[in-house]
Structure formats: structure tokens, C-alpha cells
Amino acid sequence: MNGHTTNALRAAGSLVARERLELHGAAALADEELLAILVGANGGQTAGALLQACGTVQQLAHETAGDLSRITGMTPARAAMVVAGVELGRRTLTRPRPDRERLSGPREVAAFLLPRYGASPVERFGILSLSTKHRVLRTEIVSTGTLDASLVHPREVFRTAAMHRAAAIVLFHNHPSGDPTPSVDDVALTERLQQAGSLMGIEVLDHLVLADTRYFSFKETGRL
């Protein structure tokens, strides 16, 4: 988009963007126009500041309402609307799945988890509890914050798994940086939980590191 078009869009604001949406459909609108509709009055100028600060619309998935509210023109209410809009978009990518679907390998597990947790702006560690036939029983977040082997205790992980009568589990966490390469702590935690699982009689099938649309599987790479 050239500078003249960008300035025109900002001047048009959310009203003209809404009219264009009604006439041509949402797919015909530029990113800035869609954001202008979300943020409301004087939306064109605010949407421009928002895109300039974030760089891309994809980056919005990594921002919290608190982060966005610090951008020029973004009130807490506008920031909340944008975050809610991003979450709604994320949920449309999450296909309805039958109860206790069977996941047969890392790719299927990644396809199940990425739309839900891959673009989270904060690091979250969770487990996917599976039955004896590797059907999904429950997905649960165990810890939120920077991943550290000392903060994710086997007791919490396997208490959750036992509560749902899991025969096996898949560990997962996300990297907000967008790089799914496991850290030294990731490797240490995987080894620790695998050993605990052997003692508990609950197999640790894999550990997936999620990052936007990419993932790293300890099983796929022969590290588990």
C-alpha cells in the first residue's frame, strides 16, 4: 500500500471502512481498514498507529490488552476489543472435533494444539491427557510464565493426568518468541517428567514446543 492510499484510509476512518465492508465484503478490506472498524470512532488514525507499533497484524496475536493500551489512541476499551477480535479469529481456526478424538502422531497433536496455544503472548505449559488408545481425554494448562524445570513440578503434572485417568500424556508449551527450538531448560524438564512418568505408570509420549504455526516435537526428532 503506498503512502497516498494509507493517508486516505486514515482520513476515511471507521465509517467509510464499514461502508466498504457492506459493499464489497470483509475480504476486500486492507488490514488497517479492518482494525479501524474494530476500534471505532477515529479508527483510521488509531489503526495506523497500532499497525506501526506492532509491525504486522500477525503480531497482534502476541500482544496483551495492557500492551496495546499503551499505543497512541488505544484506550483500554479499544485494546480489549482488538484482543477479543484476535481471540475470536483464533477460535474460528479451531475445528470442532469429536469427543475423545484419536491423535496418532506429532503432526496431528500439533494441529490440535497450535490454534489454541501457539500464538499465546505468554508462555504456558500444559498436558494433553490420553486414554489407552490415545484418545483425547482433556487438555489442561499446568503453569503460566517463563518455563523453568523448577516451576513445573512432576507432582502437579501427574496429579492432573491421574485425575483424568490418563494412560499417557503429551507435554506442550509455547514460545512467544516465535522460535520453537527447545531450550536447555526444555530438555531438562522433558527428561525429568519422562522419568517421573515411568515411575507413575503414565507414559510421556512427546513434548511439543509451539510457536505461531510451527512446532518442535521431541518424539519426531528422536529425543524422546
Confidence of residue 1 (pLDDT cuts 50, 70, 90): very low
43 is in which domain, residue-wise?
3-92
Helix, strand and coil in the chain, % to nearest 5: 50, 15, 35
Round the average pLDDT of the chain to a whole number and report it: 82
100 lies in some domain: no
Q: How far apart are CA 46 and CA 104, in angstroms?
A: 46
- The answer to whether residues 58 and 125 belong to one domain is no
- The answer to whether residues 110 and 213 belong to one domain is yes
98 lies in some domain: no
Which secondary-structure segment (H or E) carries 88? helix 76-92
115-135 confidence digits (pLDDT tens):
889 988 888 999 999 998 889
- The answer to whether residues 117 and 83 belong to one domain is no
What is the pTM (predicted TM-score) of this model?
Answer: 0.64
Report the pLDDT averaged over residues 50-76.
81
29-60 confidence digits (pLDDT tens):
788 888 888 877 566 678 788 878 887 777 77
